[in-house]
Amino acid sequence: MIDDDLRASRLTADKRPELQISFEFFPPKTDAMEEKFWESIGKLAPLKPRFVSVTYGAGGSTRERTLRMVRHITSDTGVPAAAHLTCVGATRDEIDEVVRGFAEVGVKSIVALRGDPPEGIGKPFSPHPQGYQNAADLVAGIRKLGDFDISVAAYPEKHPQSGSWDEDIDNLKRKIDAGANRAITQMFFRNSDYLRFVDRARKAGVKAPIVPGIQPIHSFKQISGFAARCGASIPDWLAERFEGLENDPDTHALVAAAVAAEQVTELLDEGVTEFHFYTLNRSNLVLALARLLGRRPD
């Protein structure tokens, strides 16, 4: 049994370590989705996140919408916005132009990614002949264009295209050495995978923060599909918890809240002080999780 006094999740506000949180959104496709997007941002903004980030659709397909959303987040809510950017299928000049566009609308943070081929992560990646070769190359390019805060991706279960752990961690190190400020992880559901990954990275000399990416399971079916597509695994015990709840949304929502609460409080007790939430443009579960971490709306 762990003594409650030794658990950060059991400390009151005056004794709790300082936390940093960030929220990830995707650019809405329809007016109705956009309304929901702003409603959720409105609810989460008072939690004072480090930033709200907006993803960049596969191959730059949401370029204009991502730019519009980050511009409005920055100007209308006062919350710092971070723009995701991938270098797949574009020349260096095209990407540099997008980066300048972000700077012009006041965006100072970029989540710099390689992206995937249109056929998905399972297919080999070929960089554009005049393009950035990978995420490390992109980070170095962004650094030349301005004083941005840069986040990169990390994979607690190893990127599916990394041949070995050494290759995977070397790649993360290259991204940090190229000038990234932190890594944000892919979703994971076994905290031991994340903690072991951080250990590996520290042993290899990676000193930058490695922020866990937390994916609340609003819909087990949908999240299992996302996980399969990005190479994250669903442990059997997790699948068992959601088994048979397809037609029972109330119990599904309660189990989802319990699973996410367990994940973040365990990480907090392990000494983790930075969290990135994949919101899927919803606020309810994330608001509750932030409260469990001791963060309340201002």
Quote the tokens at residue 59.
């191959």
Burial tier of 30 (Cβ tally within 10 Å: 0-12, 13-18, 19+) = exposed
Phi-psi region of 81 (alpha: psi -120 to 50; beta: other; left: phi over 0): beta
Instruction: Return the residue of 169, 184, 206, 232 that touches ligand FAD, per CB under 6 A.
Output: 184
Catalytic, 24? Answer yes
- Cα 126 to Cα 56, 84, 92, 117, 282: the distances in Å are 19, 20, 14, 8, 34
Catalytic residue among 24, 34, 262, 274: 24
Q: If binding is defined by CB under 6 A, does position 181 make contact with ligand FAD?
A: no
We find the least distance from the C-beta atom of residue 71 to ligand FAD, in angstroms, to be: 17
At position 243, the amino acid (one-letter code) is E
61 contributes a contact to ligand FAD by CB under 6 A: no
Q: Least distance to ligand FAD from the beta carbon of 74, Å?
A: 18
Strand partners, 51: 22
H or E element: which one contains 165?
helix 165-177
Nearer to ligand FAD, 47 or 113 (CB): 113
CB of 180 to ligand FAD, least distance (A): 10
Return the residue of 40, 41, 45, 55 that touches ligand FAD, per CB under 6 A: 55
Q: Tell whether residue 295 is a contact of ligand FAD (CB under 6 A).
A: no
CA-based diameter of the chain, in Å?
A: 57
Report the C-alpha gap between 90 and 131 in whole angstroms.
Answer: 6
* Binding track over 218-257 against ligand FAD, x by CB under 6 A: ----------------------------------------
What residue ranges bind ligand FAD (CB under 6 A)? 55-56, 58, 84, 86, 111, 113-116, 121, 134-135, 153, 159, 161-162, 167-168, 171, 175, 184, 186, 213
What amino acid positions are annotated as catalytic residues?
Answer: 24
